[in-house]
Amino acid sequence: MKIVVLEGSPNVNGSSNMLAKKFVKGATEAGHSVEVIDAAHANIHPCTGCIYCGYEGPCSQDDDVNEIRQKILEADMMVFVTPLYYYGMSAQLKTLIDRFCAFNSSINRKNMKSALLTVAWNNDSWTFDSLESHYDTLVRYLNLNDQGRVLGRGCGTPSMTKHSRYPQEAYLLGKSL
């Protein structure tokens, strides 16, 4: 299986990217091809709502989304990786997802698999409710098949995350595919 991992953390050495590395290790060991896309540091402009794309065509903007689009459409699975920022995904990952409008139908027709890897400082039971709701909506709207999620509660620093169960959960999720 071909997997594309969409990292949305501006902190390349942060906790969510730590989970992504463990996921990649597990998925690679299971024989899958994995490509990591650093959406947080890519040249991605916000959707302008101009509808130049007609909702299924080229975007009027010339940025890294053209290349990312091709990689997503060649993949069998997308993994969304983000720290929790004010109870939602990072603006960097959201900016990329907003640009999916130019190829929604193509994603929808693929019946791709998906997963969510996320971390938060907060450890409350409701910490990820809003993010999970958004992810569930994306899964439904884009006709994705959720393979699982790692919700790293109490992972406010990379050190906290490293000593938690969540890196192992991410590894096992990748390995189980």
- CATH number for the domain spanning 31: value is 3.40.50.360
pTM: predicted TM-score of the whole model, two decimal places: 0.97
Which backbone phi and psi does 52 adopt, to 5 degrees? -55, -35
> How many CB atoms are located within 10 Å of the residue 29 CB?
11
Which backbone phi and psi does 55 adopt, to 5 degrees? 70, 5
How far apart (Å, rounded) are the C-alpha atoms in residues 44 and 22? Answer: 26
How far apart (Å, rounded) are the C-alpha atoms in residues 162 and 41? Answer: 23
Domain region containing 141: 2-176
Is residue 123 very low, low, confident or very high in pLDDT (cuts 50, 70, 90)? Answer: very high
pLDDT score at 173? 98
Domain count, the chain: 1
At 28-76, the pLDDT tens digits run: 999 999 999 999 999 999 999 999 998 898 899 999 999 999 999 999 9
Gap between the terminal Cα atoms of the chain: 9
Give the pair of three-digit tokens for residue 153.
Answer: 């509660």
